[in-house]
């Protein structure tokens, strides 16, 4: 029976790995070999990676690919993507090439407001609380000056602080709802530092407010934290062309393609079961770029999925229409990302990814990420309404199956050709592989 381990974080890296081997691995030698195989030979670089998180034992690799030929606002981009799913980068490349010949992607940032909140419990008279807030509001800004000075020099800072009554939702619950502009930084540390200072000032000043009773003076700060829901930090990306230009697939008329495409998007807008998978495909593109550029893909995911359900029903993040012979496909999403701070200043491959993107500002990166999501969704919907999703996906998955089977390079080349005009299901690949081996 395994026993709890005490003081694990204080052990050296080698001691942690030794404990892991003794506690969890049947074949210690094989497991330790794999763990060390993924270490970087450059000790300085490995130490950098070790210090990103606690209790590091190795590095976990994801492929970093690139998708060229993205024409965005008349400028060509090569987009870096970090992802393990086999068909994502290929679909992005195909969509980029398709729209390169039809005017490219048009994007704009509609707003960049970010949000944080101080949540507190107040058991007292609401009117007195409002009076107190109005009295000390200027001091909230003043007491945070040391934190906001550098951000304000760059043109950012605190936008607004408001008192919100949430007692209809939860007894005695109020909040300070705060908005921020953080420019090229994602701004999490900045926002949280401001919020904690607001809470400190709010709590301290409440104890000296003459109109409060003793109970009212003891209002309880529950927590101070930014929100990853940023419905006023919005970017839009779109593509459009005459319906007659949707003529790449000779097996389907452009008019039929456009009609089926719009219907597929409309279905995702009214059917949550479809919408979740539809939006997951969008996030394939978005997450891959967010991860490659050192941003927080969990925060982005949470905010975007909340936005998809903002009217009470989970819906498609993309929209499509045909009007006056013009096909239009677009996306509007909330995105809070940064190009300075955090891993962007530390991770060598993140620096490379940002250099590939020509060192974008946060606003530019928002637009690039939105395009990646839109392109991914276009590729997925196009496959669904024409050949079906499996033909292209399984063809890209073919090498994964062959690697599992231990195929040689020569065998891989043979099967890539063999399955060029066939659907590469797992069963079909295994049967063909066994047949070839038996013949050999």
Q: Decide if 378 is inside a domain.
A: yes
Last residue of a domain, one of 176, 205, 227: 227
Is 168 found in the same domain as 199? Answer: yes
pLDDT at 163: 98
Annotated catalytic residue within 196, 238, 296, 364: 296
Annotated catalytic residue within 49, 119, 363, 393: 393
Is 428 found in the same domain as 312? Answer: no
pLDDT at 418: 80
| 85 in active site | yes
Annotated catalytic residue within 97, 166, 280, 412: 280
Ranges of residues in the chain with a pLDDT under 70 are: 1, 389-397
Strand partners, 163: 176
Domain count for the chain: 4
- Is 97:69 a contact under the CB 8 Å cutoff? yes
Tokens at 118, concatenated: 């101080």
Q: What is the CATH number of the domain that holds 164?
A: 3.30.70.420
Is 360 found in the same domain as 236? Answer: yes
Q: What is the dihedral sign for C-alpha 75, 354, 82, 277?
A: negative
pLDDT at 12: 95
Q: Decide if 33 is inside a domain.
A: yes
Last residue of a domain, one of 345, 371, 387: 387
Summarised one tens digit per residue, pLDDT across range 346-387 is 899 999 999 999 999 999 999 999 999 999 999 999 999 997
* Cα–Cα distance for residue pair 415/432, rounded to 1 Å: 8
Is 382 found in the same domain as 280? Answer: yes
Strand partners, 160: 179
Last residue of a domain, one of 366, 387, 408: 387
SS3 content of the chain, % helix, strand, coil (to 5): 50, 20, 30
Is 40 found in the same domain as 133? Answer: no
| 397 in active site | no
pLDDT at 408: 86
Is residue 85 helix, strand or coil? coil
Q: What is the CATH number of the domain that holds 294?
A: 3.90.770.10
Is 351 found in the same domain as 328? Answer: yes
* Cα–Cα distance for residue pair 148/158, rounded to 1 Å: 8
Query: How many angstroms separate the Cα of 293 from the Cα of each of 60, 285, 355?
Result: 17, 13, 10
pLDDT at 425: 76
* Cα–Cα distance for residue pair 221/121, rounded to 1 Å: 6
Is 319 found in the same domain as 215? Answer: no
pLDDT at 430: 86
pLDDT at 393: 53
Which domain does 360 fall in, by range? 64-111+231-387
pLDDT at 391: 57
Is 176 found in the same domain as 69? Answer: no
Q: Decide if 426 is inside a domain.
A: yes
Is 31 found in the same domain as 101? Answer: no
Is 180 found in the same domain as 120? Answer: yes
What beta strand segments (E) does 249-317 contain? none
Q: Decide if 58 is inside a domain.
A: no
Q: Decide if 73 is inside a domain.
A: yes
Is 360 found in the same domain as 425? Answer: no
Is 422 found in the same domain as 335? Answer: no
**Centroid of chain to Cα 17:** 31
| 238 in active site | no
Annotated catalytic residue within 16, 85, 128, 391: 85
Q: Decide if 57 is inside a domain.
A: no
Q: What is the dihedral sign for C-alpha 254, 255, 256, 258?
A: positive
Q: Decide if 240 is inside a domain.
A: yes
| 54 in active site | no
Q: Decide if 123 is inside a domain.
A: yes
């Amino acid at each position: 029976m395994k026993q709890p381990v005490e003081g694990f974080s204080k052990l050296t890296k080698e001691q942690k790995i030794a404990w892991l081997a003794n506690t969890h691995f049947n074949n210690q030698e094989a497991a330790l070999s794999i763990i060390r195989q993924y270490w970087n030979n450059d000790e300085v670089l490995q130490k950098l990676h070790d210090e990103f998180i606690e209790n590091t034992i190795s590095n976990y690799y994801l492929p970093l690919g690139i998708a060229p030929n993205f024409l965005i606002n008349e400028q060509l981009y090569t987009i870096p993507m970090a992802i393990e799913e086999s068909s994502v980068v290929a679909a992005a490349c195909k969509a980029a090439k398709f729209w390169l010949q039809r005017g490219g992607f048009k994007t704009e940032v509609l707003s960049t407001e970010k949000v944080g909140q101080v949540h507190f419990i107040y058991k007292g008279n609401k009117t007195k609380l409002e009076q107190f807030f109005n009295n000390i509001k200027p001091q909230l800004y003043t007491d945070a000056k040391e934190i906001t000075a550098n951000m304000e020099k760059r043109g950012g800072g605190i936008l607004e602080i408001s008192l919100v009554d949430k007692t209809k939702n939860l007894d005695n619950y109020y909040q300070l709802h705060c908005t921020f502009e953080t420019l090229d930084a994602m701004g999490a540390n900045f926002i949280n530092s401001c919020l904690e200072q607001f809470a400190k000032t709010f709590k301290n000043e409440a104890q000296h407010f003459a109109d409060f009773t003793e109970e009212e003076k003891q209002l309880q700060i529950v927590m101070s934290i930014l929100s990853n829901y940023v419905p006023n930090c919005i970017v839009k990306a779109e593509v459009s062309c005459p319906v007659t230009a949707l003529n790449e697939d000779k097996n389907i008329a452009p008019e039929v393609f456009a009609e089926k495409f719009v219907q597929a998007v409309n279905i995702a807008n009214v059917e949550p079961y479809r919408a979740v998978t539809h939006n997951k495909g969008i996030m394939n593109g978005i997450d891959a770029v967010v991860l490659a550029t050192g941003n927080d893909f969990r925060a982005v995911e949470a905010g975007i999925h909340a936005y998809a359900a903002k009217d009470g029903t989970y819906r498609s993040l993309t929209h499509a229409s045909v009007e006056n012979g013009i096909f239009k496909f677009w996306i509007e999403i909330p995105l809070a990302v940064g190009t300075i701070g955090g891993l962007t200043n530390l991770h060598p491959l993140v620096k490379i990814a940002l250099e590939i993107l020509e060192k974008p500002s946060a606003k530019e990166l928002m637009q690039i990420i939105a395009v990646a999501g839109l392109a991914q969704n276009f590729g997925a919907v196009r496959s669904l309404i024409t050949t079906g999703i499996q033909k292209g996906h399984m063809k890209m998955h073919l090498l994964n199956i062959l690697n599992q089977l231990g195929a040689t390079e020569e065998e891989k080349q043979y099967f890539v050709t063999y399955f060029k005009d066939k659907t590469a299901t797992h069963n079909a690949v295994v049967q063909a592989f066994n047949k070839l081996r038996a013949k050999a």
